[in-house]
Structure 1
Amino acid sequence: MSLASVVSVVSLCVVYGSVVGNSAIDPFKALNITLNPDGTLTRLSIPPQSPPSPDPNLPTPALSQDLTVNQSKHTWARIYLPHKALHSKTKLPLIVFYHGGGFILSSANSTYFHDFCANMANQTESVVVSLDYRLAPEHRLPAAYEDSLEVLHWIRTSNHPWLCHADYSRSILMGESAGGNIAYNAGLSAAAEAHLLEPIKIQGMVLIQPFFGGTKRTPSEVRLAQDYTIPLPVTDLMWNLSLPFGADRDYEYSNPTIKGGARILDQIKALGWRVAVFGCEGDPLVDRDRGLVKLLRGKAVHVVGNFYQGGRHGIFLGQPSMSRKVFHLVTTLYK
């Protein structure tokens, strides 16, 4: 479930006062979580979950099954395979997907993400690997980034029969909301050690309303201060619970534009990666997303910004017609 959907599930559409973003909002109550004395969270609302569906006789969009990535870290991945792949020798592109949830909530088996990945595997005819990474605050960043890179090495060395259907030379990193942030940072790490990831060859990144921040409020955050999907107290809390202790929202994990951006972006340019960023004007994060596109263009990285009027945070997974825009773009990245 995305950050926006988490908020919807816990009914943030209640009356918090005349201005969303003021101290009247208790973000812990909004997200239905409790911070324990030992720094862990009690998550009182578990979003709907879907089991994997490996049976080819069931009428699902795609087959799916769960596999352990790192037993000691309790990380795992759900693999999606189009039904037709079972009867074909044609190699399919690989999409590595990272779910959202503000770094602190949700899972790869959340129905919201499961349905999106199953439909994406079917409609783009791709093998999809969706990672269940470690959550904050029990595991603050960069734990999720480390897991996001580890899954690439796990894929590279795996001999699982479903992964044998994937053409590793046509790989894309993708994530939504916090998962978009993770995909971006996974990309930075992957570019730095591209030669160690062979035969995986990443062609680009698809960042869907990526979750970034900064200490200075952007115009869209101010303009949408009364947005009920991701009010500022909620996003502030998520950063406070996920960033390293002592870091503020201008830390590099939160603000990719700080100090002119990461030096490794030059390597991403040299590798010829193509980056797509999806956003919409109804999302308080839209200015952050536009800022990332501007940064990448300034580094001469091949980037396309796909921005739409209206909408809300989470719309690209929550609305099928918007999901299809993502799927269509994904197929063009493989050409």
Structure 2
Amino acid sequence: MASPKEIARELPPLLRVYKDGTVERFLGSSKVPPCPQDPETGVSTKDIEISQNPSISARVYLPKLNNSETQKLPILVYFHGGAFCLESAFSFLHLRYLNIIASQANVLVVSVEYRLAPEHPLPAAYEDGWDALKWVTSHSNGNVPNAEPWLIKHGDFNRFYIGGDTSGANIAHYTALRVGGGEGLHGGVKIAGALLAFPLFWSSKPVLEESVEGHEKSSVKKVWNFVYPDAPGGIDNPLINPLASEAPSLGNLGCPKILIFVAGKDELRERGIWYYEAVKKSGWQGDVELVHVEGEEHCFQIYHPETDKSKDMVARIASFLV
């Protein structure tokens, strides 16, 4: 009988790393293939490669066209959640959710499959997100080696959005800061707006109505230390604490509007409110809106898209992506 493998480190209840380098994940939905045409929404999906080194890919969503082969659609570059170490752009949950978003909002979605920790500790996911953004916008002038025809034919780069849920919302925030900090995108493409659903932020000190008791042992801090063990400043690194002393000013966010969602029963609720208030006070010249969904759990709209509150959230997102 084979002896059990030795555990190197673990992050209960999410995953475990063994000394032979293998990683066992306990949460996350299974990966599923793309669909030429989803029977419920009419959305078509395909998987594409963005880069081989590093390995970055994406799932692209094209809603049913209105009898026009040349119809131009808003573009949403989307970063999935999962604490930087779980889930996938190819998961069942995100396929179902983004089919709904693409259909209801009538947008072309590029859902990025970035590298996950612990195999690829942060900041790998951030760099992958930025590289994916540059690759997508390179289609605006048609000068890209591995071009995606849907983006060239149907993408409207004057209506170019970024967004994500939880850790993916964190990545979207970071890319907006890079753009606003002077790192331009291909073809002079501008970000029309950022969608941040239940954004993952934290710091060494509790904020607003967060509990002081147990703050040091919060699940967010445990996750951050696991996915970015060498982070300068630890939990006050600017990537996780947007108000850290070394963080770029939120006044530099490179988009004209931001839509933030928080949920009443979410551990990250106060952080989303805190971020919203900080953006308003930063001197940023855009419009920021906070939608507080009472009585709901973290990322409820992905797990339970059939509920009225999930449908209301999707409708609000659709009205934002215009």
Q: CA deviation at 1:314?
A: 1.5
CA distance in 1, matches of 2:38, 2:30: 24
Change over 3 Å in CA distance of 1:112–1:58 after alignment to 2: closer
* Residue number in structure 1 paired with 2:198: 209
Q: CA deviation at 1:256?
A: 0.9
Q: Match for 1:37 among 19, 42, 46?
A: 19
| Matching residue's letter, 2:75 | L
Contact 1:104–1:241 (CA<8 Å) still a contact in 2?
no
- Bigger shift: residues 296-305 or 73-82: 296-305
Q: CA deviation at 1:260?
A: 8.3
* Residue number in structure 1 paired with 2:258: 275
* Higher relative contact order structure (alpha carbons within 8 Å, sequence separation ≥ 6): 1
Structure-to-structure mapping, 1:20-169, within 5 angstroms: 28-31=11-14, 33-37=15-19, 41-44=23-26, 47-54=29-36, 56=37, 58=39, 60-84=41-65, 87-158=68-139, 159-163=147-151, 164-169=153-158
| Matching residue's letter, 1:252 | P
Contact 2:43–2:63 (CA<8 Å) still a contact in 1?
yes
RMSD over aligned CA atoms reads: 2.7
Contact 1:85–1:165 (CA<8 Å) still a contact in 2?
no
CA distance in 2, matches of 1:224, 1:279: 22
Q: CA deviation at 1:133?
A: 0.3
Change over 3 Å in CA distance of 1:67–1:179 after alignment to 2: same
Q: CA deviation at 1:143?
A: 1.1
Contact 1:82–1:126 (CA<8 Å) still a contact in 2?
yes
Change over 3 Å in CA distance of 1:39–1:105 after alignment to 2: same
1:191-233 deviation line (CA, Å, top 9, x unaligned):
33454332532111110001111122346543997xxxxxx65
CA distance in 2, matches of 1:221, 1:102: 20
Aligned length: 300
* Residue number in structure 1 paired with 2:271: 288
CA distance in 2, matches of 1:218, 1:239: 18
Q: CA deviation at 1:45?
A: 5.2
Structure-to-structure mapping, 1:147-296, within 5 angstroms: 147-158=128-139, 159-163=147-151, 164-193=153-182, 195-218=184-207, 220-222=209-211, 234-247=219-232, 248-259=234-245, 261-263=247-249, 265-268=250-253, 273-296=256-279
CA distance in 2, matches of 1:259, 1:173: 26
Q: CA deviation at 1:102?
A: 0.4
What TM-score does the superposition give when structure 1 sets the normalisation length? Answer: 0.80
CA distance in 1, matches of 2:93, 2:60: 16
CA distance in 2, matches of 1:186, 1:315: 25
CA distance in 2, matches of 1:283, 1:58: 33
CA distance in 2, matches of 1:73, 1:171: 24
Q: Match for 2:312 among 302, 308, 325?
A: 325
CA distance in 1, matches of 2:255, 2:88: 31
CA distance in 1, matches of 2:178, 2:265: 31
Q: CA deviation at 1:251?
A: 1.1
Q: Match for 2:281 among 287, 298, 302?
A: 298
* Amino-acid identity (%): 29
Change over 3 Å in CA distance of 1:187–1:323 after alignment to 2: farther
Residue 128 of structure 1 aligns to a residue in which SS? Answer: strand
Contact 1:104–1:135 (CA<8 Å) still a contact in 2?
yes
Contact 2:78–2:162 (CA<8 Å) still a contact in 1?
yes
Contact 2:194–2:255 (CA<8 Å) still a contact in 1?
no
Q: Which structure has greater helix proportion? A: 1
CA distance in 1, matches of 2:222, 2:228: 10
Residue 236 of structure 2 aligns to a residue in which SS? Answer: coil
Residue 137 of structure 1 aligns to a residue in which SS? Answer: coil
Residue 95 of structure 1 aligns to a residue in which SS? Answer: strand
Q: CA deviation at 1:325?
A: 3.4
Q: CA deviation at 1:189?
A: 1.6
What TM-score does the superposition give when structure 2 sets the normalisation length? Answer: 0.83
